[in-house]
Amino acid sequence: MKLLSFSLQNFRNLERVAAVPHPRFTLVCGENGQGKTNLLEGIYYLLALRPLRPAKASELVRLGQGEANLTGEIDQDGVARSVAVRLSCGLRALSLGGNPVAEVDRYLEAGAVVAFTPDELAIVRAAPERRRRYLDRAVFTRWPAYLVELREYQRLLRSRNRILQERGPVDLRESFEIPLARAGARLWMRRRAWLEEVSPHFTRAFDRIGRLSEEVALSYPAAGEGTEADLASRLLSKLHDRLSLDEARGFTSVGPHADDLRLAIGGLSARVYASQGQGRAIVLSLKVAEIENLREKLGAAPLLLLDDVSSELDPARNRELLGYLRELSAQVLLTTTDPGPLLPRLQEDAASWRVDAGVVTV
């Protein structure tokens, strides 16, 4: 997929941006706090309908403005399509090919985008919630329908939690538990399928990037074996088994929202035993594996957005990452405070933009 052009109006601190990215590499330069990440986030939101950083839709609109408008034209398999998002009063309106569209998964099928931020380099040692957030983002990039499925699960989960907190009627609580178990089983199936696809790519990527003798592994034990119906039955049983605990705490203690993506190195927990360098090699390998899996399954590499990642990597892994990106037939936008080390390695296949106080010079 290629992003042919885009425009952002009143998004974060960006008043108005209209630009044509380079077909290969676009280097977005500027000091910290000027709007480089906002620029990438606008593109990411346009294509993925999620911000790079946790935020409400109303917080994405430029301060003092009533709405934000994001538009773009993408090339998917040689066919150009327009996409547009309008954010107003905390609500979102979508357009695909110039026509309004209500189905989120249909909109998301227009193009695949993968973002890589410095925050992700810390997921090995972070709390499980951070790894779940990464996992959910990766899964919905692979299967756009997952976003709708995840939101349905979260809606049912909030309802059960509210009943637990208010000590609501038993029959009302039970009426939510069967659909909650079914929705949770669906998430488990999606996550398990993603893990099965990505694991071989992850192992190969780490062999190249990590340059270490230790073996690495991904696992998601919560899903377990069995059909979707088996998993739903298992989750329903767990909900019943933990009812007393959940009532005492006022929230649901078991399900996809409480799971963890396990990362291991040398057979040991990477969260506990991986060094900083090993941890960053693991995360870099995860992103490469995600990209390679999308390229294999979708027939083309996704658009890549890298937010100042090079400044967080050691020189050796920087070389590995840039070497991989040059080999990959993908369009890449990178932000940096110091373009000096990057431009010579990208050679003639790059454009350089500047961001100062929300103004983008191309």
DSSP letter, residue 53: S
How far is the C-alpha of 271 from the C-alpha of 123, rounded, in Å? 9
Do the Cβ atoms of 83 and 74 come closer than 8 Å? yes
* Distance of alpha carbon 288 from alpha carbon 128, whole angstroms: 21
* pLDDT value of position 347: 66
Residue type, 342: L
Which runs of consecutive H residues, i.e. helices, occur in the chain? 36-48, 104-108, 128-142, 145-166, 170-209, 228-241, 243-249, 270-273, 276-298, 315-327, 343-346
Q: What pLDDT, on the 0 to 100 scale, is given for residue 57?
A: 87
Sign, CA dihedral 118-59-15-20, equals positive
Give the separation between CA 334 and CA 332, rounded to whole angstroms.
Answer: 6
Could you say which DSSP state residue 302 is in? P
For each of the domains in the chain, give its residue range(s) and CATH number, in order of start. Answer: 1-111+302-362 (3.40.50.300), 120-298 (1.20.1050.90)
Report how far residue 264's alpha carbon sits from residue 120's, in angstroms, rounded to the nearest whole number: 17
How many angstroms separate the CA atoms of 72 and 251, rounded?
41
Q: Counting every residue, how long is the chain?
A: 362
Structural tokens at position 21: 């990215």
How far apart, in whole angstroms, are the C-alpha atoms of residue 31 and residue 38?
Answer: 13
Whole-structure pTM value: 0.91
Q: Token pair of 166, please?
A: 């208010």
CB 330 within 8 A of CB 4: no
Q: What are the mean pLDDT values of the chain's consecutive 10-residue runs (362 residues total)?
A: 96 97 95 95 95 89 95 91 94 94 88 91 93 94 94 97 96 96 98 96 89 86 90 97 96 97 95 91 93 92 92 83 87 90 75 95 93
Q: Are 52 and 41 in contact (CB under 8 A)?
A: yes
CA distances from 348 to 25, 283, 315, 344, 352 (A): 9, 29, 21, 8, 11
Rounded CA-CA distance 343/111 in Å is 27
At 42, list the tokens.
């606008």
Given CA atoms 165, 167, 172, 174 in this order, what sign does their dihedral have? positive
Query: Which of 84, 97, 89 shows the shortest CA–CA distance to 60?
Result: 89
Model pLDDT, residue 188: 97
The answer to whether 229 touches 239, Cβ cutoff 8 Å, is no
Give the three-state DSSP class for 121: helix
For 59, which DSSP code?
G
d(CA 86, CA 42): 12
